[in-house]
Amino acid sequence: MTEARALRRDDPRELAGYRLTGVLGDGGQGTVYLGQKGGRHVAVKVLHARLVSDRRAVRRFLAEAATAARIEGAGTARVVDSGMAEERPYLISEYVDGPSLQQHVQRYGPLHGDELDELAIGTIGALSAIHRAQIVHRDFKPSNVLLGPDGPRVIDFGIARTVDSATTATSSVVGTPGYMAPEQIAGEDATAASDIFAWAATVAYAATGSSLFSGANIPAVMHRVLTAEPDLSGVERPLRSVLADCLRKDPARRPTARQVHARLTRQASAPPAPLPASVRRRRLLIAGMLVLVLAGSALGSMWWPDRLPEAVGPQLHESLSSTPGFGQAIGGPFGPAGDQVTAMAVGSLLGDPIVAAAGGGVIHLLRPGAERPPYREIPVGSSRVTFVAVTEVDGRAMVVYVADGVLRTWNVADAEPGRFFTCDSENPPVAVADGRAYLGCPNGRVITVDLRSGRPAGEPQVFESVVTALVWDGFQLVVGTGDGHLLRGGARAAAGAPVTRIGHLGGTRIAVVTTDGRVAVYGPDLAEVIFTAETAQPLADVIERDGELVTLAGGRGLSAQEGEHEVRLLDEPHEVTTIAAGELGGRAVVVAAIGGSRLRAWNLDR
């Protein structure tokens, strides 16, 4: 039986006649317990006590119970009972003894052969039953598929809704980035076709072990969903063609769950054509190494030196002390060799200029000009670092980062990792300021972490949409959402598209970047847009220099524009994967990861 955590002091011991024996999981809405009565095990979901006074939360919980009870057929966890106990709503469902698909893949790797076929057919059959009940799941993803002893089960109807309730007075983006269909990200209503897209992304994850639309942060993931064609080369035929049809950007062109189920069952009954063992092994090797070959070998031979100089820090420091003009490169390529840089930050720690670059399971702290070794490496054990920041807390140098969706802290002096926080997202947005870190979650919550104590500070703030970007403006938190809004205290403004990045320019001005490549600067209370620019590039940022705004646009090349003056920092043949702008050694700079392996810095001062 799947292991359950021990009950805590304030957990109930009995509910609706069931003895509660352990905790199966916690979420933003409630806690799921393992219940038992007469030798029968069930899953008991109870609304959090702090939400009992929230009428909307209670209504949503009861709606989930009613929705799940409508579904008939195999492939879902059957509802046993629901109701109210001591003013707290509960939902009792059949217990599925098995890990989630996400847990299984993380522990044992991708599924193959009959296991993958069983997953695909079982889950699309469940989705067909859900759609027959006129229900749209809206959050189909690997963590919502349980691998039970009798086959996969689809769970969690917390944000599902019936088709006849699709029109609402206010709309918000709900779902999990990376498994949301393009139309959901664009703020349109989720339909059965949106579930088909999410199903295909989930099955592709099961087949390859990685997300189709991974990115450095939530905005990058959303941009890939909207614009990039998924790479299905790691999925065997004929499943690959089925998934490709389900992942079409236009929802009208996707097949229905019933049609997909029919295709898969026909294919499963056909005898497979065996491949020689050497060919099967070669396919797996090619699928696993293709990206490394392109990013590391081909691009490296185009323009990077064969080996990294041993003292890259002093090289950059000497360049920082010189006076290159606006848009001119500062020194040559520097930083870690051969790593896929997924997150960067520039700033200072204890008076030293710092470039932090995450990649290859390590966060590299480049300390140019110091007599100490030129950089320090912090092992994080994951290549999926989506955020990194350097900060000082009570005179201590600290690194805050997100790896595999988990927010962690690291005390540089002690070389020790601190506490960790998670909220069911592969790449949550984070803001770090004034001794606190703010962690945005897909369910609209923002968790505040006190970096001094390493503990949550107060109750989470709750918003109505997916939180995609955060910044602390010196007085309060500013939030960007997936449905294209900015929230600052009681003020609200429409950004026109999902928000990918927010920056504080000083005073009351906020710089905002959206998925369509638009950059805008908002004044006090978000009431006035005082600057706009169109970049048409996947990476964009804006920095203030001597009262002037400089717009940065990267992707195929990199450019900087100040007023009417635009400078090409890097030509188009070179791909920029990550950029970070800020002050380094007293000078405004932009640092870019080019092709994911080397860093370059450019001066933005006059």
| β-bridge mates for residue 599, sequence order | 334, 593
Confidence at residue 463, expressed as pLDDT on a 0 to 100 scale: 83
Q: Tell me which of 535 and 157 has the higher pLDDT.
A: 535
pLDDT per residue as tens digits for the range 55-72: 888 888 887 777 777 776
Kindly tell me the burial class for residue 552, based on how many C-beta atoms sit within 10 Å of its own C-beta (0-12, 13-18, 19 or more): buried
**152 token code pair:** 């996969």
Task: Name the band, by pLDDT with cuts 50, 70 and 90, for residue 311.
Answer: very low
How much of the chain exceeds pLDDT 90, in percent?
A: 16
d(CA 390, CA 323): 26
Confidence at residue 372, expressed as pLDDT on a 0 to 100 scale: 44
d(CA 402, CA 429): 9
Confidence at residue 412, expressed as pLDDT on a 0 to 100 scale: 80
Confidence at residue 219, expressed as pLDDT on a 0 to 100 scale: 79
pLDDT per residue as tens digits for the range 25-35: 776 678 889 99
Confidence at residue 322, expressed as pLDDT on a 0 to 100 scale: 55
Task: Name the band, by pLDDT with cuts 50, 70 and 90, for residue 243.
Answer: very high
* pLDDT, mean of residues 274-302: 26
Q: Does residue 290 surpass a pLDDT of 60? A: no
Task: Name the band, by pLDDT with cuts 50, 70 and 90, for residue 314.
Answer: very low
Amino acid letter, residue 85: A
Secondary structure string (H, E, C) spanning 158-200: CCCEEHHHCCCCCCCCCCCCCCCCHHHHCCCCCCHHHHHHHHH
- Exposure string of 143-175, with b = 16+ CB inside 10 Å and e = fewer, is bbbbbbeebbbbbbbbbbbeeeeeeeeeeebbb
Which region among 66-70, 222-226, 289-293, 516-520 has the lowest average model confidence (pLDDT)? Answer: 289-293
Confidence at residue 546, expressed as pLDDT on a 0 to 100 scale: 67
Confidence at residue 347, expressed as pLDDT on a 0 to 100 scale: 84
Average pLDDT, the chain: 78
Confidence at residue 91, expressed as pLDDT on a 0 to 100 scale: 87
Q: What predicted TM-score, i.e. pTM, was given to this entire model?
A: 0.53
Amino acid letter, residue 123: T
Query: Which of 139, 195, 473, 516 is labelled catalytic?
Result: 139
Q: Does residue 593 surpass a pLDDT of 70? A: yes
Q: Does residue 188 surpass a pLDDT of 90? A: no
Q: Beta strand 40-47 with 18-26: parallel, antiparallel or unpaired?
A: unpaired
CB 411 within 8 A of CB 418: yes
Q: Does residue 164 surpass a pLDDT of 80? A: no
Strand (E) or helix (H) holding 317: helix 312-320
Confidence at residue 361, expressed as pLDDT on a 0 to 100 scale: 81
Most confident range (mean pLDDT) of 63-67, 173-177, 463-467 is 463-467
* pLDDT, mean of residues 498-506: 84
Confidence at residue 150, expressed as pLDDT on a 0 to 100 scale: 82
Q: How many Cα atoms within 13 Å fall on the side-chain side of residue 212?
A: 32
Task: Name the band, by pLDDT with cuts 50, 70 and 90, for residue 453.
Answer: confident
* pLDDT, mean of residues 475-482: 87
Q: Beta strand 477-481 with 467-472: parallel, antiparallel or unpaired?
A: antiparallel
Q: Does residue 142 surpass a pLDDT of 80? A: yes
Most confident range (mean pLDDT) of 139-148, 357-366, 487-496 is 139-148
Query: Is 231 one of the catalytic residues?
Result: no
Task: Name the band, by pLDDT with cuts 50, 70 and 90, for residue 251.
Answer: very high
**408 token code pair:** 């962690």
pLDDT per residue as tens digits for the range 405-428: 888 888 887 766 777 777 767 778
Q: Does residue 123 surpass a pLDDT of 80? A: yes
Confidence at residue 248, expressed as pLDDT on a 0 to 100 scale: 94
**Domains of the chain by range and CATH?**
5-166+174-266 (1.10.510.10), 344-543 (2.130.10.10)
pLDDT per residue as tens digits for the range 530-569: 888 888 777 888 887 766 788 888 888 888 888 778 889 8
| β-bridge mates for residue 430, sequence order | 439
Q: How far is residue 589 from each of residues 367, 387, 395, 543, measured CA to CA in Å?
A: 16, 19, 25, 9
**592 token code pair:** 């870019």
Residue 244 CB coordination number (10 Å): 15
Most confident range (mean pLDDT) of 18-22, 199-203, 213-217, 311-315 is 199-203
Which region among 169-178, 227-236, 462-471, 496-505 has the lowest average model confidence (pLDDT)? Answer: 169-178
The answer for 415, left when phi > 0, alpha when psi is -120 to 50, beta otherwise, is: left
pLDDT per residue as tens digits for the range 261-281: 988 887 654 444 443 333 222
Residue 567 CB coordination number (10 Å): 16
